[in-house]
């Protein structure tokens, strides 16, 4: 298969998952880019560029469908914008092996959080204290943006289960907010990586091609597939994505 056709296919697949689960696709793209011969830093750059494209289209579609809470999204997005701006600096001083270990640990943590039920008492407390809830969302966005973009993921896969568990948000609200957060964090992260010369012409081209596929995929995910999945199927699919990504990362670490 031509490498560009492969990039589009990868983008299409991850875009569909972005639309369904509110994720950036980095948990899929980074391991696959590693398997195709790219360095960890290049894989992160490609992943972040496609995230910016797919999350923009996905957020526009969610806004039109009235499934995106814009005020909450701005709080999370502002935090992500600030946190992600430090990603290029971290990539310059921390080794790829250490980052891949952190990446694997975050995948495991997210898998555990995803299968747990939300704490209803936290939902009650936070809805009565809007300003405290806003501060929590901003801090979650900043911390997630810092760690997620450094690892080449948008943060939606980390943030969606956290919002579901700690704030009690329903899955559709989490997905829309997660995708909107990724828009902010990925744009900030991309500028940071460009400034630190991690994104070059080759990475830019690959990211644009994968992003083209993602734009097509995210439309499919939001408009079509999401309406066909029940809660059990939704959880089974996302856990499968977690597991596959973890296996690929472990393979790259030890073989």
Supply the pLDDT for residue 248: 67
Tell me how far apart the alpha carbons of residues 244 and 103 are, in angstroms, rounded to a whole number. Answer: 13
How confident is the model over 49-61, as a mean pLDDT?
Answer: 90
Tell me the mean pLDDT in the region 74-87.
84
pLDDT score for 121:
47
2 CB burial (10 A radius; 0-12, 13-18, 19+) = exposed
Convert the pLDDT of each residue in 173-231 to its tens digit: 877 888 888 888 888 888 888 988 889 999 999 999 999 999 999 888 877 656 666 66
pLDDT score recorded for residue 176: 85
Backbone Cα Rg of the chain? 17
**What per-residue confidence (pLDDT) applies to 124?**
45
More confident residue, 51 or 117: 51
Length of the chain: 255
pLDDT tens digits, residue range 145-163?
777 777 666 677 677 766 7
Q: How far is CA 236 from CA 8, 144, 242, in A?
A: 25, 24, 10
At 226 the pLDDT is 60
């Amino acid at each position: 298969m031509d490498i560009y056709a492969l990039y589009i296919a990868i983008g299409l697949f991850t875009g569909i998952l972005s639309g369904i689960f509110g994720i950036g696709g980095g948990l899929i793209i980074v391991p696959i880019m590693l398997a195709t011969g790219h360095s960890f830093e290049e894989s992160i750059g490609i992943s972040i560029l496609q995230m910016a494209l797919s999350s923009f289209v996905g957020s526009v579609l969610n806004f039109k469908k009235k499934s995106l809470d814009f005020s909450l999204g701005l709080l999370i997005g502002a935090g992500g914008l600030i946190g992600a701006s430090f990603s290029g600096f971290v990539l310059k001083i921390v080794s790829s092996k250490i980052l891949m270990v952190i990446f694997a640990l975050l995948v495991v943590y997210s898998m555990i959080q995803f299968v747990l039920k939300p704490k209803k008492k936290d939902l009650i407390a936070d809805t009565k204290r809007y300003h405290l809830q806003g501060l929590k969302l901003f801090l979650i966005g900043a911390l997630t943006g810092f760690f997620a973009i450094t690892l080449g993921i948008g943060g939606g896969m980390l943030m969606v289960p956290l919002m579901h568990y700690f704030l009690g948000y329903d899955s559709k609200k989490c997905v829309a907010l997660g995708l909107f957060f990724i828009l902010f964090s990925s744009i900030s992260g991309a500028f940071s990586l460009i400034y630190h010369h991690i994104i070059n012409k080759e990475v830019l081209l690959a990211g644009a091609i994968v992003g083209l596929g993602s734009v097509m995929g995210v439309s499919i995910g939001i408009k079509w597939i999401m309406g066909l999945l029940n809660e059990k199927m939704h959880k089974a699919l996302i856990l499968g994505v977690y597991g596959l990504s973890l296996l690929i990362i472990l393979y790259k670490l030890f073989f």
